[in-house]
Chain A
């Protein structure tokens, strides 16, 4: 077995938390039951990884098989990577039957014809998700296994989730290969990025709890009727206002948990509006400004702003439209009308 393969397996095993190593190796399936039983999983990770490498030597594991362990790790811990969402477009309307072997062949063919040195792995999961791992090389160097790109494609949908490696130059080729292999016509990047792959899926597949405009208003429900120890000496003067805020919040955000995003970024290309007497910026050109909101869980924190008394309800639609518009990177330009308000570009 090649030294590089041994080192790669060792480093991959070291990434896995100690309690998960046995289950992942079983899923991997490259070591037999008897071989697995010889490993002491209670020793330190360094020793475990060396034992695993030893056993892989016995089985003559190659780099493509080793890469499968990496896919398994990333499938269990997808939130360690940043995922971007892409949408593919079809010209015709017919829903063609998806042939997995055809897809794989075309995908590999397109990549290999452009780049000789690539390692490509496919793995299918129950929810119709196809995970693709690509390690990129150049015409003169072997593929870099430590900076792979990951693609998650749900074949029944036009959406692709890509976690690009740092080597961004390979992105156009990757997109080309995807479009060709899946019989689509075009691909575009939706301005939607996050660490949480499941939340991105929730947003584009509309799986989060949205609030639909009902024709019949909901009857007033008595939620949290009385506080736990209602001290009668403390009187809430603005109870109606508090209830209004709760109601507006529920209408905007829905009842369920919000998808997990970490950022919202607004690129402003609007004119600076100052007091005409001050005459700041005599050149009438757009004032470039970038506003970035960051949070461990952005949408939940926006939802809790009004009840916590930090903002007025309802919150600006620029913030609340994020799940519906399925984007968290916006460009705001001037509205070319009589009204001086700005609008969000499509």
Chain B
């Protein structure tokens, strides 16, 4: 009995070897730096270092919960993440199903490639483009929106807390929809064609086939990705928020990660910034755990 696991290990030795770099990467970049979170319970000064800085217990966390900016950034984070989840999560599913139904293969490939492309453009460029395209005086997109009557002629898209959320969600979807649809397309490709053939024989139309075959087959994938997204609710995209923040939108764009960066690195309150980060990680973990648990109860699908 006892030799069994080691025998299996030996049989899988090449596979194990292949995962080794990834495991090392995890240890070096995710586990070793974790000891740094102790500074959130200290008043860290570089001179005294991680080990010798004085302990302050929960003082940083106490301040956190009395800090109006923190509360505001927490609310913003959830607001933005939930909007992204509600609109952004179904988008790639819909896209992949639509693509799957396209008969003309060449067209399908072109659309697929075009929707991937934005994923490889960095946020710096995307936000730079947005400033140019949405400039009320010279921006092409602004002009189009004005001429179709969607916005008023003097609307400053990038400088208004009202349009901010829309822009955040829209650009996020635009940028990631193609990339995120890959995994669904792969899942769809794995569906047994016999199921569709049988359904056609039974007289099921297109929508019936999508509803009764494609979607149920995608369910495990959707659930897993949903669980992961719920865990990410408290992490809004730092790059995007930081870049889209300006003096007009700073209230709307102040999310936890930006706030943590600003207090920790820009003003040099390392311990307080770390406390914000630690809080964020714990909440993320709890959220993911809850999502996983409820999914296991309700749908019998779960990540762990």
Please say whether chains A and B are actual partners in one complex.
no
B-side residues, CB < 8 A to A, are none
